[in-house]
Amino acid sequence: MSRHIISILLENEAGALSRVSGLFSARAYNIESLTVAPTEDPSMSRMTIVTTGSEDVVEQITKQLNKLVEVVKVVDLSEAEHIEREMMLIKVRAGAKEREDMKRMADIFRARVIDVSDNTYTIELTGDGRKLDAFIQALDQSAILETVRTGASGIGRGNRILRV
């Protein structure tokens, strides 16, 4: 079992997302995260799926994805050098007592405070999943009010390009 990050180019059509997610549930494949948004060509979406499975299962996953009529291209990014990023918004308690500490912690992780109220901060942090986990760990757990993570997006390094 290993972790794979799979990139998919697919037609930006109603129902395409449910075909992909339906495939994963129907065939009992794992999904750790799934992100999707249109590309620079609005008729096409780019999806990133993080999954775990044996080599055989991941081979089946890519083949089954390719079989979907709306899927244009599939690449297992983890087969070669690639970059992964995830974004997190985290709202923490930040009253007069905690403010300074929170700000310092955010700086250490190169996170940004993007919203402030009397007693809260909303912090934005981008990085790979482990970095986001580490930030959460580093905080006083009782100070965390809300977290929202996008799931990973990935791209190949250098000349490794996924397009039609």
Residues that bind other proteins (CB under 8 A): 10-11, 14-15, 18-19, 22, 26, 56, 59-60, 63-64, 66-67, 69-72, 164
CB of 10 to other proteins, least distance (A): 7
Q: Which is nearer to other proteins, 47 or 102 (CB)?
A: 47
- Separation of alpha carbons 37 and 14, rounded Å: 13
* C-alpha–C-alpha distance, residues 100 and 78, integer Å: 39
Which CB, 58 or 92, lies closer to other proteins?
58
Query: For residues 19 and 51, what is the distance between their CA atoms, to the nearest angstrom?
Result: 16
Strand order in the sheet with 33-38: 33-38, 44-53, 2-11, 71-76
In the complex, minimum distance from the CB of residue 44 to other proteins, in angstroms, rounded to a whole number: 9
Instruction: Compute the distance between CA of residue 97 and CA of residue 123 in angstroms, rounded to an integer.
Output: 17
* CA 22, chain centre distance (Å): 19
- Which lies closer to other proteins via its Cβ, residue 1 or residue 14? 14
Find the shortest distance in angstroms from Cβ 78 to other proteins: 19
* Nearest distance from C-beta of residue 92 to other proteins, angstroms: 39
Q: How far is the CB of 38 from other proteins (least distance, A)?
A: 15
